[in-house]
């Protein structure tokens, strides 16, 4: 299928040109060599460290183009702010997608 844009391909099949040259895939180590930082560890939430689990609508605070902080603003029915929690995005590790669901933790740290 012919690529017509980013993640967009034509519906019609086309034949591979006769002058096409097969390319070898990079070796298995290639991905980890260039895209994995072995110094970072997997981070999982430990809600026992929070005085209170953050609630409210999450907002991101961008710092020089990157999301360095997340804040939760909990407003009452009358619109008055009841609480605000601000958390810094960690830089010494990574968060696996399976540990989070819409910004909320779905997996906690092992005791």
Each residue's pLDDT tens digit, 3-42: 888 888 888 888 888 999 988 888 878 877 777 777 888 8
pLDDT digits (tens, 9 = 90+) for 31-72: 777 777 778 888 776 667 666 667 788 888 877 766 678 888
Share of the chain above pLDDT 70, in %: 77
pLDDT on residue 111: 45
For 43-80, b/e burial (b = at least 16 CB within 10 A) is eebeeeeeeeebeeeeeeeeeeeeeeebebbeeeeeee
Distances (CA, A) of 9 to 4, 20, 25: 5, 19, 22
- Mean pLDDT for 71-99 is 80
Average pLDDT, the chain: 76
Distances (CA, A) of 12 to 3, 8, 16, 46, 94: 11, 12, 13, 51, 40
The answer to whether residue 73 scores a pLDDT higher than 80 is yes
Phi, psi of 19 (to 5 degrees): -90, 10
The answer to whether residue 83 scores a pLDDT higher than 70 is yes
pLDDT on residue 86: 84
- pTM, two decimal places: 0.42
């Amino acid at each position: 299928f012919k690529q017509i844009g980013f993640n967009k391909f034509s519906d019609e099949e086309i034949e591979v040109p006769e002058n096409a040259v097969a390319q070898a895939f990079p070796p298995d180590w290639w991905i980890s060599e260039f895209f994995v930082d072995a110094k970072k560890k997997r981070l999982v939430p430990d809600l026992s460290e929070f005085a209170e689990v953050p609630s409210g609508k999450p907002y991101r605070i961008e710092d020089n183009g990157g999301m360095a902080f997340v804040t939760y603003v909990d407003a009452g029915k009358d619109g008055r702010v009841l609480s605000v929690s601000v958390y810094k995005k960690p830089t010494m590790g990574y968060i696996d997608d399976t540990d989070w669901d819409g910004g909320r933790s779905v997996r906690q740290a092992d005791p």
